[in-house]
Every structure is written in structure tokens, then in C-alpha cells.
Structure 1
């Protein structure tokens, strides 16, 4: 695949993947999600790739799904390979380090939560606004970090979290207060990827599937429940109004 919205660099087997739609705050349109799915799929099979560092160009990590595209496609962008995309990233069998900065919102928050180790710059904000406009935020993704009951309370509150608060809650693993956050992330990734790949794969399999049910089945059940919201004839109007309000604030 020709990667239009990702920047890739192989650093001695550690693949640096940067979201590259800075003019749109790295919003997740269909193309960038397909590109991410492709990169992770190919890296899964490539024995020369020991792990992935996921970061972003521009000021913000990711503002979430591209709501303009969602409205233009009459919600089809929401539906596009939603299960396949999430499962490809969350089930990645090699170490994955995410480096966050600026705003990390909605689908961008879920993308960040795919990391085995998550670093965030000091001024990072993490936000799940979907509940505010009647959309269903994912519980499975956040529950993997903080457990289902805490994931639920944070979701229903719908409040933004500063990086220091996210650290205290166990959502992220480290706050980078100075220096190059990508360089720091690479040091972590180097450490995580030093072990036997088969052992890493086994440990991730245990973490993903042995304690809170099967990852694939959990995601599938959650997305199946979401169909009720997407099929609501008023939902497109609600999302359109929310997208307009966000655009006016930018």
C-alpha cells in the first residue's frame, strides 16, 4: 500500500509509525485507518520487525474519527472495518509503544489504548466525548487498562483527563516532562522487544484473553451493540450538529 497519511521509518527493526494528517489533527478517516491496519498486518508477519512505536506529526496525537467524513458518508465511515481495524491493532503480537501529545480524543484515545506501554507529553489531554452527543464510547479498550467498573465511571463522566491524572489512574505508563518523547519511547520499545518473540506473543495472548474474556469476542459484542445507535434515524443529525460545534471552536 502507498501510505498517504502515515510516516514510516525502520530503526533497526523498530518501526516508527507517525500519523501524518497534522492539518486535520490526525483525524481518523477511512484511508488512515486502512493504512494502520495494513502496517500492523504486514509487521505482524515480518520477522525483521521487532516492535512498533506509534506517534504523530503535528501538535496533536489524534482528534478521533474524521466527523466530516462520517457525515459525508452518512455514518458509513463509522462502520468501515470497525472490528477488523481495532482487532488488528489490539491483538498485535509484538511490543507496541504509543507516544501521545496534545489532544488525544475519542477514536484517538482508543487508538492510544492499543499500546502495551503509553507515554504522554506533559500537556497531553485525553478525552472521551462520545457520550456527550449520544455516541457509544468503547468500554473494552479502556477496561484493558483500568478494569470495567473504572472504565464505566470514566466514560459516563465524560471529562477530559490531563496526562498526570491519566498516569495516576493507570491509563498511561509515563509522563514525559522534558526531552524528545519519541526518543524516550524508542528506548522503552527497545527494552520491551529484547525478549524471545514467541515468549512476547504468549504473554500478550495471556494478557488479551485470559482475564476479561476473549478480545475479539468482546470487541465484536460491543460493536454489535453499537448498531442500535447507528441505525437510529436521528443519530446522523446529532453527529452533524456535534461536528459543526467542534469546527466552530477550532
Structure 2
């Protein structure tokens, strides 16, 4: 049986590829659990300093495999799908203190779109698109879509996209502030790889601490966030990468960060 997830680790970058192209990389139970396992592996592997999540074939991810939920034998039920499949993936994407790029190579629909938006940086192929497809079949946006999308593009636009289920092109997604950038078909792979390599060679301990602060900013008051920044800055200043960064600046040379 073909592996539903492919993992490649090279040059300190882990690339996780959703690999059900005939089903547009839609999630079934096996793939959801495999993604969780692979994310855990990437988190614990000290050689991995940046992560790329992408899809094989024409789609990034079409969300839930509806063949699974309509099968009396296979359907795990929405409670299990959300609490055991998608929610743990979202929580891992945010908790792993390493930069995670969503390389959206094609359509990202439903939970597929929202998992991409939960990543730290989204780079989209010029022909990619994003669809909050839930309303088309009488469901509500899940996988933290109602959490991240309004924060990215504003309440009014998020409400409209979720209710109307409009397809959003990569260009429109960038202009809305939904994603970081788009890349041409010819340059997509190179742009993703170069961005991942750049992140992997940066002071990734500090990047992880930045991610922790961004997570906390979702619910903190200004006063609490300022206090947390002070505490985390002290932690960052104790890293080897801070020492290396300062020394490299003084010595007018390129720093060699090790992520510690």
C-alpha cells in the first residue's frame, strides 16, 4: 500500500508530503494519525530545524475524505474526526517551536485550507486556491478556521468567505493578508526550498520563542504580553545563537547559528 505520508529530511529541513493524490490528498483516519506521528518525529529530531508541509499532485489538501464519513464501515464520526484527527494536528502545528511552512501547491479546501493557515508561513503556487467549503455541504468551518481566518483577514471578510464558500485565488489570498507570498509555477519549488533553508540556518531557538509569543498574543492583554516579552527575551539572550550573533556582528562576519 502506498504511504499516505512521505517524509524527507535534508539540510536540516523536514518535508512532510501528503500523499493521496488520487483523492486530492483528502484526509482519512490513517493519514491524520500518520501526520501526527511525523510531526512528533520532527519536533523531537534535533537535526530538524524547519518543517515544510505540502501535497503531492495537483492538490494541497481537499479536507476530509467524504468517502470515509459516508461509509457505514469506515466512518469514525465527527467527534472522533475532530478530537482525534484534526485538532491534534492544529495543536501540534502551533506548539512545535520550529518554523513550519505550508507550501500550498494546489487547491486547499475545508480542513486542508485551515491546516495551512495554522502554519507559520504560507507560500502558495500561483494556481493554488483556498476554499472554506464547509457551507456547501451544511457544515461549519473546523480545524481552527474560525480562530485563524478572522485574525488574518478580519471578521467581515472571514464571515463572508465561510458563509458563501467562495474560492479565493492565490493572488487574492495574498492581497487579503491570508498568506505570505505566491510563487510562479516555475519558481514554486525553489522558493519554498530557499525559504525553508533560510529558516533552518537562522537562530531557530529564537524563532521558536517568537512563535511561543505569537501564540500567547492571541489571548493576552498588552500588559501581560509585554511582561512575557521581557521574560522570553531574557531566555533568548541566554542562547548560544545570541552569543554567536553578537560576536559575528562585532567581527563583521556571517554568523553560524546552531539552533541552541
TM-score > 0.5 by shorter chain: yes
How far residue 25 of structure 1 moved from its aligned partner, in angstroms, is 0.6
Partner of 2:77: 75
Task: Report the Cα distance in structure 2 between the residues aligned to 1:83 and 1:64, rounded to whole angstroms.
Answer: 13
- Among residues 88, 94, 98, which one is paired with 1:90 in the alignment? 94
Task: Report the Cα distance in structure 1 between the residues aligned to 2:185 and 2:88, rounded to whole angstroms.
Answer: 36
Contact 1:139 1:148 (C-alpha < 8 Å) held by counterparts: no
Would the alpha carbon gap of residues 3 and 154 (structure 1) be closer, same or farther in structure 2, given more than 3 Å must change?
same
Partner of 1:39: 38
Would the alpha carbon gap of residues 177 and 197 (structure 1) be closer, same or farther in structure 2, given more than 3 Å must change?
closer
How far residue 71 of structure 1 moved from its aligned partner, in angstroms, is 1.9
How far residue 147 of structure 1 moved from its aligned partner, in angstroms, is 4.2
Contact 2:12 2:200 (C-alpha < 8 Å) held by counterparts: no
- Among residues 195, 201, 204, which one is paired with 2:202 in the alignment? 195
Task: Report the Cα distance in structure 2 between the residues aligned to 1:213 and 1:84, rounded to whole angstroms.
Answer: 23
Contact 1:55 1:182 (C-alpha < 8 Å) held by counterparts: no
Task: Report the Cα distance in structure 1 between the residues aligned to 2:54 and 2:76, rounded to whole angstroms.
Answer: 29
How far residue 188 of structure 1 moved from its aligned partner, in angstroms, is 0.8
* Larger-Rg structure: 2
Q: Does 1:143 align with 2:150?
A: yes
How far residue 48 of structure 1 moved from its aligned partner, in angstroms, is 0.8
How far residue 156 of structure 1 moved from its aligned partner, in angstroms, is 2.3
How far residue 177 of structure 1 moved from its aligned partner, in angstroms, is 1.6
Uncovered stretches (5+) of structure 1, i.e. residues with no partner: 215-250
Between 1 and 2, higher relative CO (CA 8 Å, sep ≥ 6) is seen in 1
Task: Report the Cα distance in structure 2 between the residues aligned to 1:147 and 1:41, rounded to whole angstroms.
Answer: 32
Q: TM-score scaled by structure 2?
A: 0.75
Task: Report the Cα distance in structure 2 between the residues aligned to 1:141 and 1:209, rounded to whole angstroms.
Answer: 14
Contact 1:8 1:18 (C-alpha < 8 Å) held by counterparts: yes
Task: Report the Cα distance in structure 1 between the residues aligned to 2:155 and 2:42, rounded to whole angstroms.
Answer: 30
Kindly report the root-mean-square deviation, in angstroms, between the aligned alpha carbons of the 2 structures: 2.2
Contact 1:37 1:89 (C-alpha < 8 Å) held by counterparts: no
How far residue 54 of structure 1 moved from its aligned partner, in angstroms, is 1.1
How many residue pairs were aligned?
213
How far residue 66 of structure 1 moved from its aligned partner, in angstroms, is 0.8
Q: Does 1:117 align with 2:121?
A: yes
Secondary structure, aligned partner of 1:93 = coil
Contact 2:126 2:171 (C-alpha < 8 Å) held by counterparts: yes
Uncovered stretches (5+) of structure 2, i.e. residues with no partner: 222-260
Secondary structure, aligned partner of 2:61 = coil
Q: Where in structure 1 do 4 or more consecutive aligned residues deviate above 6 Å?
A: none
